[in-house]
Chains A and B, each alone.
Chain A
């Protein structure tokens, strides 16, 4: 089954060109090697694939729709005279409200197969934490989620959801108290409890095999989108667009289209308050190659190799690195990487809500302005697919705050 197998990359050392690899402490090398062996076995086992597919269909609700965003398309055309047709891949309609669960089902079924009963995860926006807690509950596993103390404040609804699902949320106060520190803490947990613990990483980063494995589990997004657009329009799109933090929803959408060189692959990084301000999370646009969290990739860092703080209104994009496969697609020129600021994301969150009746998460809200730019550029004969990778319910407090409104329960504003 080609959906979860790809023999061409990475290589056997987990490299995408010079990126990727396994930069971890020796304690973690044996578990990483055994994870790799277990995954290689599982991904070609018809029983594993059948169970995964059954969960994706009946529990997650796949396939997710491919939706023609007619009024956004009209909006772009009105400003420009003509515009490309904009389609949304509706992964925000998945159970738990984001693309994250595609990967969690895959990894936790693998954990079950490996006999691991204790699941740990890191989370930024809380979407991966919620998805992990959800699947852990469903499979009867213990679940501990590490989350930066700063993110716990800005993503309160998701913290509560995780607790309702039976997970223990552990606040991380070290460093910048955001996603990267949650990942450090999860790695510390793993190094300590290596025998019984499975680390469910939420993005296409970390030591090999995670970047390849998470991509494979997310690749269902692009495979569905490709079949759906061929069915609907009779041809491939001209471009596919997705927001990027670590890059899992983007890799999931891109993967099926990488061999189709007529399809432009466009990733949108979080520019925070502007790339020139230094307060951003755009690792490819504003970083350089280095080593962190088990892989070599582009990182925000100073000239001495210390990791710099990332800044984004979106907790899910607030990470100073990016998956190694994106670094490679960037250097080879196969994919293009642009960025959008906090303000642009906020503005287009509201535009999408009013024109399409969809509250996008703050993460895909970053992809909307660049999708509109591209739609104007390409004109009316073109087709664009944007990954609507998460819904915005979790972000309403952050957005109210940014708009200067008080919606906290028990107050009159």
Chain B
């Protein structure tokens, strides 16, 4: 596991994880936002890379991906963003997040090589379940990168050990069945689920999908090791601009850090 990820969770306070779509709305703006995230309280950056067919995403992230692709973003240019970020920040972990095909076309070995070289710490590949992620995991492991697995409400007790056993860095708990940014089916406590996953994984558990407000972030941070917000930030950036997006990030980070 990357020492940068370990350092974040060693602080003993809930981590705030922010997702942005790399290259949305264009390379320069996106780089500026990314560079500003740690100063706004972000502990881990999830850097999305676009794909034409984002089957697990809601309309907000899908449209951000369309803007990003129109601006010419590729997986290679996303790795360049990380490299640029690393010139000024050597502590904030960067996790790239997206779908398998762009990675498959670059080649699992070439991707891992280039990601490590760019200063990336790990990846979340939505459509590579444990049954299919072996070849990429081997390449990433060899270079000290974490391939982070998702656990979901449908991951039952029988399956959970298999899912978490291969994860490294942390486990991402998807708090609901549905696409990113969907309305939350039920509020309430995720304590039971987080405990279930943490006990099986012996790794930090961050919770995402459907977290939009400071209230919800604070509620989840009482139980989980980290909170992920994506859609709300991407939406704020698109609709209200950079400053508004960073204000939201600051508020969410603060709510997360002070929850306990």
Contacts and interface: CB of A to CB of B under 8 A. Distances in A.
Given A24-B127, A29-B131, A290-B104, A192 B51 contact: no
Contacts of B182: 192
A307 B52 contact: yes
A49 interface: no
Contact of B102 (A29, A187, A195, A305): A305
Interface in B125-159: 126-132, 149-156, 159
A163 interface: no
A27 B180 CA distance: 12
B174 A27 contact: yes
B31 interface: no
Interface stretch (B36-44, B69-77, B87-95, B221-229): B69-77
A358 interface: no
Interface string A194-228: 11000000000000000000000000000000000
Which size bracket describes the interface of B in this complex?
35 or more
A296 B163 CA distance: 21
B52 A23 contact: no
B118 interface: no
Q: Which of B56, B75, B130 has the most CB of A within 10 A?
A: B56
A96 to B, nearest CB: 28
B159 A29 contact: yes
A274 B197 CA distance: 53
Interface in B177-193: 177-179, 182
A188 B101 contact: no
A175 to B, nearest CB: 7
A13 interface: yes
Nearest to A185: B55
A294 B131 CA distance: 12
A213 B178 CA distance: 26
Given A174-B62, A191-B178, A192-B179, A305 B105 contact: yes
A384 interface: no
Contact of A292 (B53, B131, B132, B149): B53
B105 A22 contact: no
A261 to B, nearest CB: 32
Interface of B: 50-56, 58-59, 62, 69, 74-76, 99-106, 126-132, 149-156, 159, 163, 174, 177-179, 182
Contacts of A23: 100, 127-129, 132
A69 B102 CA distance: 47
Interface residues of A, number: 37
A30 B156 contact: yes
Contacts of A290: 101, 104-105
A324 to B, nearest CB: 13
* A22, A194, A290, A291: residue with the most chain B Cβ atoms closer than 10 Å: A291
15 contacts: A13-B131, A21-B132, A24-B127, A26-B130, A26-B149, A29-B130, A29-B154, A30-B155, A180-B53, A191-B55, A191-B179, A290-B105, A292-B53, A294-B127, A306-B50
A132 interface: no
B179 A301 contact: no
A31 B54 CA distance: 20
A25 B104 contact: no
Contacts of B51: 305-307
A247 to B, nearest CB: 19
A299 B166 CA distance: 29
A245 B178 CA distance: 29
A277 interface: no
Contacts of B155: 26, 29-30
Contacts of A31: 154
A291 B129 contact: no
Nearest to A186: B55
A174 B75 CA distance: 22
Residue among A26, A184, A293, A296 facing the most chain B CB atoms (10 A cut-off)? A26
A193 B177 CA distance: 7
A188 B154 contact: no
Contacts of B58: 188
A174 B51 CA distance: 13
B105 A303 contact: yes
Contacts of B106: 305
Contacts of A299: 101
Contacts of B55: 24-25, 184, 187-188, 191, 293
A305 B51 CA distance: 8
Given A184-B55, A290-B105, 19 more contacts: A21-B131, A22-B131, A24-B129, A26-B154, A27-B56, A27-B150, A27-B154, A27-B177, A29-B130, A29-B154, A30-B154, A175-B53, A187-B56, A303-B105, A304-B74, A304-B102, A304-B105, A305-B104, A307-B52
Contact of B101 (A191, A193, A292): A292
B75 A25 contact: no
Contact of A25 (B50, B129, B159): B129
Contacts of A13: 131
